[in-house]
Chains A and B, each alone.
Chain A
């Protein structure tokens, strides 16, 4: 087995083109567990840790066109940095629920995408924010919506020779919520999660569920119903009927399964509560 640790993205992409069988190592919080337990024996590893350009983030554009561009090696700890958390509050909330400090210091947003676990904590946030992912290969770059990048449980649209280079996340003005259920408040993998965004400039609501389907789940009809049911001018107290109706619609859109963490029935119930609660909290601070 070879371990390659390039210091430039071009070199990393060239190495992957020369040997597409290389396993890409980002933070290692998923891959090394599989290696330690003998579930994966990579023939070669391409470590991205020492590629500085993958660690940077920047703000592009202004106003309603503003986007944060996150290098794929951006860690959860970096996402909690106040400068970033102010721009992308739901992503910071989600990051805070990931593992403990050791995991947050190591795990990356690119790795969360590459692993594409149904329980990946950042995935519902990225989908609710209409984030896109930039994939790099020797042939150049292509951009895909995160919603299309995740094609199934631990399955992605990555082609051989491609790696996740960056994530582009639109900045929305307004309250955002990320809620997650697990067996305790730290060090848990999600049993159910919900990300909700109120875009006060665009006057629309967006919501995505995590851990209750093969990938993040969105229901555009439910979003349109809630968006039309809310009074965006006066922003009065939330009508309980809207909160309940939205929770029911999102639960109906979920496709949970029974597994060792929870039953499908519990997850179905949980996301109804989470979607309703996320709307109540977000609207309450709008």
Chain B
């Protein structure tokens, strides 16, 4: 891995309107299951990461594009229920997997995968992030929200070390993390009181 790399080859500016592929190959057409819905992907480069396909082909901009090397966690999504960086997933290799983005996280009371409700109401984690002041510029927030959901779904009552280790793959340059950790604590309390699923 490179720690001080040049600018990523795929900037936002050169994806949507670039019909030709530099390697001269044809578009592949394939289907991804995102937030419980089968979506057809057309016009993507064969080398596109899942992150680019989600953002530029499927209109799901919740996963953010920052480092493109798995360092920052701002593109965190779930693939088959496992927390991953969408920038490190080859999109076409995710055919057949269940992909969940921040847009597909279910709010309290919804059935998992209830796409109609997802995004319409804040989840308990999102609510806690707002109330605890865990959001400043907001760029890292979707990645944190996905990672915190993943943690609390696996470990309902994490100790402080669990929380820090679970969020070590997500970077925030604004908050200093204190309020994000407070948000996790609040979400744990809310879930523990049975006010959430």
Contacts and interface: CB of A to CB of B under 8 A. Distances in A.
A36 interface: yes
Interface string B1-12: 111111011100
Interface in B146-181: 147, 150, 165-166, 168-170
B62 interface: no
A146 interface: no
Contact of B47 (A1, A100, A186): A1
Contacts of A25: 90, 93
B104 interface: no
B68 interface: yes
Given A28-B90, A47-B93, A102-B85, A1 B169 contact: no
Interface stretch (A8-16, A37-45, A84-92): A37-45
Interface of B is mostly: loop
A35 B47 contact: yes
B4 A100 contact: no
A25 B92 CA distance: 12
A37 B23 contact: no
Contact of A37 (B6, B71, B85): B6
B22 A41 contact: yes
B193 interface: no
29 contacts: A1-B25, A3-B93, A5-B95, A5-B96, A30-B1, A32-B87, A32-B89, A33-B69, A33-B70, A35-B49, A36-B87, A37-B69, A38-B9, A45-B92, A47-B93, A50-B96, A100-B169, A101-B83, A101-B165, A101-B168, A101-B169, A102-B73, A102-B76, A102-B84, A103-B70, A105-B82, A106-B89, A117-B1, A189-B1
